[in-house]
Structure 1
């Protein structure tokens, strides 16, 4: 286990980034593929209204993910820096507090969601025709909220200690099991969207138990005892402060989903909601490798910043930025070139394919800029700089995309919805660029100061 600490501190940065990022990329790509395949099965087995029902429900799942990342990513940053500074007891206590908080939240979220299911779906924009499908799906998904939030948060802890392989396994287990169960429940047992939801919950529960076994078996670098589970307000506050940027980004995605669903129903009807759901699934497949690099990048950055190895900090930032930019450009090229083919995988509905192809090309116009934004936000999170991380997390969705979506469709109709995305992407890129350059200059200044004092 000491080898993982030595690896983070001494191994060549390029090799280390590949070693930690590739498993995360594979895991997240497979995770995205299960959402992709899930939607294909629903589209082929239930139809476009089934896809719309899943899409309507998605903001709730995003919000659960947001809270899991609030405590998980925030705590992971503390754990990485504590391990780098040699303070293992604090790392153990932080992990224990993550367990306690996420378990409490998962149970509360499931209970409240089930009690207010129909009002929540109405708020999410479910039309009368979509409501039965959305209720069937979300009513089951909520039972898995506890497992989903636990797996999301503790997976961040696994990455923080540098065990990228186990973090990858957790995502592979969930995704592969879901893909296996989907056709059994949707087609074999003829459960429709209920079958898709049931497959998801079983997969999430299996992942949660695997992670619990990992921590209890002694294979983790961390050794969490019962006293570590006792809530410590300073640790929870610091975790929330650092993770708040990730929470805002995900929660903004939930708010955006609500606004998008209602706007799409108003300007394009149920078919537009299904189109947005398909585009989202496709974007997830192509964007997940970027988030995989970011997840491999953050523990390297956090550990070496905590250990005062600033040359390694700058090196990993440079390599990760280059890698993210290459992936975002390749993703744009493929999605822009073959939208009809890709959307046709989900459904043979000619209207869905026609509207979706046109929408896809408009939504992804500025996709090449996304990779840099991902690294910019990840850099500030890993460095423990809560305020700039929060600004960058708010920029795209809260500061730009949501206001634009609320205004532009009144001028340009359904096209206004689609063009809101590239406008927001450019605006967020500019803010990220300014803060990023300033932080790089600060890091170089710290290196110069350390060399002078040495």
Structure 2
């Protein structure tokens, strides 16, 4: 099931690797989408707003950890591409230790300061209680989230994108069942949705672990593999921390948008939450393509095949642009009608606000494609700090629009925050890409 991505047609390899990740990301989105649907339908708009208002905090905390684990396994993919199996195993052991320590630390910190964070975000009083219960349970389950993301990243680093998908599908189905039981039968509200998410994610991680133990001999770690190599750990942190901060920078900008929305009332928050769930289903393709490019570029950089890296970027850009045009048109024409899945009250008003959001973001899917493909690809090549600069540009774009929309009380302004961020970050990433490729050309000429 493991795949060497340094041979074969780049376009075909990228597409075949991306599709399972895309499907897996869709099922992962089902975790939060099913939470949103069931909470909105069976509890009400206030509970829906509570879950939606926590989405940015979840992205801040869990995104940071996802960035770390993805960064740690870039090193794993590079060693695998170079054929150095011993160093590859050592990188897996080091990533496991670092992830365990950091996830425990993040659990303690996030749960200790959550009340203050929710107050700083101006969380409306009518949804504060549900929001606090939901996010505290999510934070308590950080270790379960990290277990799956780390093991899935390790498998993908070895070219296996299908097994994580299978286990994620099982977990998503379990999440649906648990949501129905906890919310409808036991009336746990938003907290029930959080418990369903944590339990399901933990089970998917345990299944990945069993699979690796039973079926992946390349990952049979020996005693000497567990001896901490601090140079290796430093290399992993050098790549992982900028990737983690990239997620955090994006999340901080999103929190600024959420804070502006909170001042507009719970109906605006609920509408925005429903709209982002619809958008995220479509845009998981860009996330999946970015994940693919990180592995593809890491393996080929490790094998010193820079021409294949360039071909991979070209293929991903063409395929992603076609997808962006098609899906953008679909969302503009009919995306708002999916609102009926999420709300039972004020449907007409919420649907109108959902339509505004979808129209704002759909016309900017190509810049979003560039952000995901080029940021992750450059990170896969071993450059950690450069993509983080694009994250700062993203923060500036999103933050400025959030401040303006908050000052003038504009819902449309809040909807334009992400497109502004994608344009700034995407443009900067393209400049970085051409700079890096010119650098490699000069080295090759010498």
State the secondary structure of the residue aligned to 1:31: helix
Q: Which residue of 1 aligns with 2:212?
A: 215
Query: Is the counterpart of residue 30 in structure 1 residue 27 in structure 2?
Result: yes
Contact 1:291/1:374 (8 A) holds in 2: yes
| 1:174 shift after superposition | 2.6
Residue 131 of structure 1 and its aligned partner are, at CA, apart by: 0.8
- Mapped partners of 2:408, 2:188: distance in 1: 42
Q: Indicate which of 243, 246, 251 corresponds to 2:243.
A: 246
Which of 330, 335, 340 is equivalent to 1:344? 340
Which one of the candidate residues 59, 64, 70 is aligned to 2:61? Answer: 64
1:8 aligned counterpart, secondary structure: coil
User: 2:294 matched to 1:304?
Assistant: no
* Contact in 1 for aligned 2:316/2:373 (Cα 8 Å): yes
CA contact (8 A) 1:298 1:382 kept: yes
**Inter-partner Cα distance in structure 2 for 1:230 and 1:365:** 51
> Does 426-435 or 75-84 show the bigger shift?
426-435
Tell me, yes or no, if structure 1 residue 293 matches structure 2 residue 305.
Answer: no
- Indicate the SS of the match to 2:188: coil
Gaps in structure 2 of 5+ consecutive residues: none
CA displacement, residues 392-425 of structure 1 (integer Å, 9 cap, x when unaligned): 23322x2321133223542563332223333333
Q: Which runs of 5+ in 1 are unaligned?
A: none
141-150 vs 215-224, greater mean Cα deviation: 215-224
Please point out which of 388, 391, 394 is paired with 2:392.
Answer: 394
Of the three residues 70, 75, 86, the one matched with 2:72 is: 75
> Residues of 1 paired with 2:15 and 2:258: CA distance?
38
Deviates more, 1:348-357 or 1:96-105: 348-357
Q: CA RMSD in A?
A: 2.3
Q: 1:281 aligns with which of 262, 277, 284?
A: 277
The aligned counterpart of 1:126 is 123
Following the alignment from structure 1 to structure 2, what is the Cα–Cα distance between the partners of residues 229 and 146?
Answer: 20
Distance 1:321 1:363, change over 3 A: closer
Q: Is the 8 A contact 2:152 2:164 kept in 1?
A: yes
Q: Residue deviations 1:356-375, cap 9 Å, x none?
A: 22233234432232112211
Query: 1:333 pairs with 329, 340, 355, which one?
Result: 329
Q: Contact 2:122 / 2:262 at 8 angstroms: preserved in 1?
A: yes
Which deviates more from structure 2 when the two are superposed, residues 40-49 or residues 164-173?
Answer: 164-173
Query: Is 2:98 the partner of 1:101?
Result: yes
User: Structure 2: how far apart are the matches of 1:322 and 1:204?
Assistant: 33
Q: CA deviation at 1:162?
A: 0.8
User: Any idea what the Cα deviations from partners look like across 1:69-88, whole Å, max 9, x if unmatched?
Assistant: 34312122111111222222
Aligned residue among 432, 435, 438 for 2:435? 438
Asked whether the 8 Å contact 1:388–1:435 carries over to 2, the reply is yes
Change (3 A) 1:402 1:234: farther
Contact 1:155 1:167 in 2 (8 A): yes
1:315 paired with 2:311, answer yes
Shift of the 254–236 alpha-carbon distance from structure 1 to 2, 3 Å rule, reads same
2:222 maps to 1:225: yes
**Distance change (3 Å), C-alpha of 1:110 and 1:57:** same
User: In the TM superposition, what whole-angstrom CA distance separates every residue of 1:1-39 from its partner, at most 9, and x where no partner exists?
Assistant: 7xx45x323233233223211111111122123322221
- 1:334 Cα shift? 1.6
Listed as ranges, the matches of 1:162-181 within 5 Å are 162-181=159-178
C-alpha offsets along residues 93-143 of structure 1, whole Å, 9 cap, x if unaligned?
Answer: 111111112222222333333344433322343221111111221232222
Change (3 A) 1:309 1:114: closer
Q: What count of residue pairs does the alignment treat as equivalent? A: 444
Partners of 1:430 and 1:258 in 2: how far apart? 23
2:68–2:243: 8 Å Cα contact kept in structure 1? no
Given that residues 59 and 124 in structure 1 are in contact (C-alpha distance below 8 angstroms), is that contact kept between their aligned partners in structure 2?
A: no
Shift in Å at residue 51 of structure 1? 1.5
> How is 1:168-207 mapped onto 2 (pairs within 5 angstroms)?
168-207=165-204
What is the CA distance between 1:241 and its match in structure 2?
2.0
The TM-score with structure 1 as length reference comes to 0.90
Task: Give the aligned partner of residue 374 of structure 1.
Answer: 372
Give the whole-Å Cα distance in 1 for the aligned partners of 2:124 and 2:228.
Answer: 42
Q: Which residue of 2 aligns with 1:42?
A: 39
- Do residues 20 (structure 1) and 17 (structure 2) align? yes
Task: Provide the rounded CA distance (Å) in 2 between the counterparts of 1:379 and 1:385.
Answer: 9
- Cα 1:71–1:409 change in 2 (3 A) is closer
Q: Is the 8 A contact 2:39 2:48 kept in 1?
A: yes
Distance 1:299 1:415 in 2: 37
